[in-house]
């Protein structure tokens, strides 16, 4: 599908240069090109994006950009600079600009920006409430990130709207490696700018992985984890849910039950607890499930999933159920070679080998989250879980 641009430039040389950049991309096409002196008050409603040259400090232009980005019906703005300072870059982001380019623009850099453009609101489904799902591991290494990443990918393929995957494993989050991406921004920028949040500014901080999947990574440095507190996370999550731009927000909590994780659990509609077939993981699972129940998190639809499940292992699903006093919602098969390869190659297995048995299991989990589950599976609510207890 073509992506139409309105181009506003300061000189004919820039016009020709930027026209070439747009036309060299896969989908880019020009709708109109006007000198900055004729910048229209309102952006052409047929445009998918605005390409604007920023010739230097200009309050009038800043005000135009702010006005344009504040109205979410307007297309996103790409800014072009001959040269740029760090201050200008930050200012541009605060103004709600989607992308900044500096001369010379590499074709692949521009193409990546086009691929990151979010689906336009008109292409999204009806504004359903956003469903927040937390993935909590009983123990390190049980596959929480693998399960969260692949579930997010599957939900995004259903095209019921945009899906956001947040890495809240604040110290050792590894989500970016599972997708082999290097997003420019992390949770830190979102939290630090929480008071300036608006729709387009927020979306400029998320990394668009593909048409319907956006990513928000954990902080890059260990010491930055401190920035993400429960108090600061709360308004961000509330705002994101209120916006209704995402059909699903999935959060990888790792094995953390710290304050930010509890905040997510408090607000989540779904909680997926991930364990595996080992005694240490199951013994942790028991403690964790007892605690969660004690904390009164009954409102979330709960599911215990056993990852890397080996049918002919030492324990059967019934053994695990009996040990935990709770129903096991599902199992995800054991495929060390394929799973490790997908992680090392930075491609979700559900993308790389969608027909694999492990992906069929993951599809059942995605179906549960998108409300396509069977009536029996709904029995896995906390309230009913009490019936299974010793």
Ligand X SMILES: Nc1ncnc2c1ncn2[C@@H]1O[C@H](COP(=O)(O)OP(=O)(O)OP(=O)(O)O)[C@@H](O)[C@H]1O
| Closer by beta carbon to ligand X, 209 or else 305 | 305
What is the total count of residues that contact ligand X (CB under 6 A)? 21
- As a whole number of angstroms, the distance between CA 168 and CA 264 comes to 9
Q: What minimum distance in Å lies between the beta carbon of 87 and ligand X?
A: 37
Residue burial 343-361, b: 16+ Cβ < 10 Å; e: rest? beeebbbbbebeebebbeb
User: Rounded distance, CA 90 to CA 96, Å?
Assistant: 10
CB closer to ligand X out of 129 and 346: 346
CA 360 to chain CA centroid, Å, is 22
Least separation in angstroms between residue 376's CB and ligand X is: 24
Out of 28, 143, 217, 303, name the contact with ligand X by CB under 6 A.
143
CB of 43 to ligand X, least distance (A): 43
| Per CB under 6 A, 284 contacts ligand X | no
Binding footprint of Mg ion on the chain (CB under 5 A)? 144-145
Quote the least distance from Cβ 133 to ligand X, whole Å: 15
Query: Which of Mg ion, ligand X, none has residue 339 at its interface (CB below 5 to 8 Å by kind)?
Result: ligand X
> Under DSSP, is residue 375 helix (H, G, I), strand (E, B) or coil?
coil
State in angstroms the smallest separation of the CB of 176 from ligand X: 12
Nearer to Mg ion, 144 or 186 (CB): 144
256 in contact with ligand X (CB under 6 A): no
String of contacts with ligand X for each residue 182-221, x by CB under 6 A? ----------------------------------------
**Residue 229: both structure tokens together:** 């507190």
Least separation in angstroms between CB 293 and ligand X: 22
Residue 308 contact among ligand X, Mg ion, none, beta carbon within 5 to 8 Å by kind:
ligand X
Contact criterion met (CB below 8 Å) for 320 and 289: no
Binding mask 79-118 for ligand X (x = CB under 6 A): ----------------------------------------
The full DSSP string for 189-224 is HHHHTGGG--HHHHHHHSEEEETTEEEEPPPSSGGG
Question: Applying CB under 6 A, does 144 fall inside the site for ligand X?
Answer: yes
> Which of the choices Mg ion, ligand X, none does residue 208 contact, using the CB cut-off of 5 to 8 A by kind?
none
- Answer with the entry of Mg ion, ligand X, none that 369 interacts with (C-beta below 5 to 8 A by kind): none
Interface with ligand X (CB under 6 A), residue from 92, 114, 261, 358: 358
Report how far apart, in Å, the C-alpha atoms of 289 and of each of 43, 102, 261 are: 53, 52, 15
Decide whether 81 or 172 has the Cβ nearer to ligand X.
Answer: 172
Give me the least distance between CB of 240 and ligand X, in Å please: 23
Pick what 138 binds: ligand X, Mg ion, none; C-beta below 5 to 8 Å, kind-dependent.
Answer: none
Nearer to Mg ion among residue 205 and residue 218 (C-beta): 218
| Cα–Cα distance list, 190 to 149, 227, 229, 330 (Å) | 20, 10, 12, 34
Cis status, amide bond into 93, omega within 30 of 0: no
CB-based burial label for 104 (10 Å; 0-12, 13-18, 19+): exposed
CB of 163 within 8 A of CB of 247?
Answer: yes
135 binds ligand X (CB under 6 A): no
Q: What DSSP letter does each residue of 260-297 carry, written as one string?
A: HHHHHHHH-SEEEEEE-SSHHHHHHHHHHHHHHHHTT-
Are the C-beta atoms of residues 113 and 99 closer than 8 Å to each other? yes
Interface with ligand X, residue 137, by CB under 6 A: yes
> Contact at 8 Å (CB) between 144 and 136?
yes
Q: Summarize as ranges the residues that interact with ligand X (CB under 6 A).
A: 137, 140-146, 169, 254-255, 307-308, 332, 334-336, 339-340, 343, 358
């Amino acid at each position: 599908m073509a992506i139409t641009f309105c181009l506003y430039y300061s000189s004919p040389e820039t016009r020709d240069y930027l026209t070439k950049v747009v036309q060299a991309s896969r989908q880019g096409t020009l709708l109109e090109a006007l000198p900055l002196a004729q910048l229209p008050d309102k952006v052409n409603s047929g445009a998918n994006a605005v390409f604007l040259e920023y010739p230097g400090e200009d309050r009038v232009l800043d005000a135009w950009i702010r006005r344009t980005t504040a109205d979410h019906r307007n297309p996103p703005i790409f800014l072009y600079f001959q040269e740029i300072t760090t201050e200008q870059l930050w200012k541009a982001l605060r103004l709600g600009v989607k992308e900044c380019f500096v001369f010379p623009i590499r074709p692949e850099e521009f193409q990546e920006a086009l691929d990151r453009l979010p689906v336009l609101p008109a292409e999204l489904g009806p504004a359903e409430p956003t469903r927040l799902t937390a993935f909590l591991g009983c123990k390190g290494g049980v596959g929480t990130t693998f399960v969260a990443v692949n579930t997010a990918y599957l939900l995004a393929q259903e095209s019921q709207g945009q899906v956001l995957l947040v890495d809240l494993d604040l110290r050792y989050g590894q989500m970016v490696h599972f997708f082999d991406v290097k997003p420019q921004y992390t949770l830190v920028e979102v939290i630090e700018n929480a008071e300036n949040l608006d729709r387009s500014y927020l979306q400029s901080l998320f990394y668009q992985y593909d048409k319907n999947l956006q990513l928000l990574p954990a902080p890059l440095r260990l010491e930055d984890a401190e920035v993400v507190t429960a108090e600061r996370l709360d308004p961000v999550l509330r705002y994101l849910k209120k916006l209704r731009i995402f059909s699903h927000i999935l959060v990888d909590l790792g094995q953390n039950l710290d304050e930010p994780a509890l905040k997510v659990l408090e607000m989540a509609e779904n909680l997926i607890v991930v364990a595996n077939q080992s005694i240490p993981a199951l013994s942790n699972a028991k403690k964790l499930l007892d605690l969660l129940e004690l904390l009164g998190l009954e409102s979330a639809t709960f599911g215990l999933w056993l990852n890397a499940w080996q049918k002919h292992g030492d324990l059967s699903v019934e053994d695990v159920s009996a040990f935990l006093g709770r129903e096991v919602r599902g199992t995800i098969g054991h495929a060390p070679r394929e799973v490790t390869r997908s992680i090392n190659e930075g491609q979700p297995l559900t993308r790389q080998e969608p027909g694999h048995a492990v992906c069929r299991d993951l599809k059942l989990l995605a179906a549960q989250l998108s409300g396509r589950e069977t009536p029996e599976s709904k029995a896995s609510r906390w309230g009913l879980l009490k019936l299974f207890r010793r």
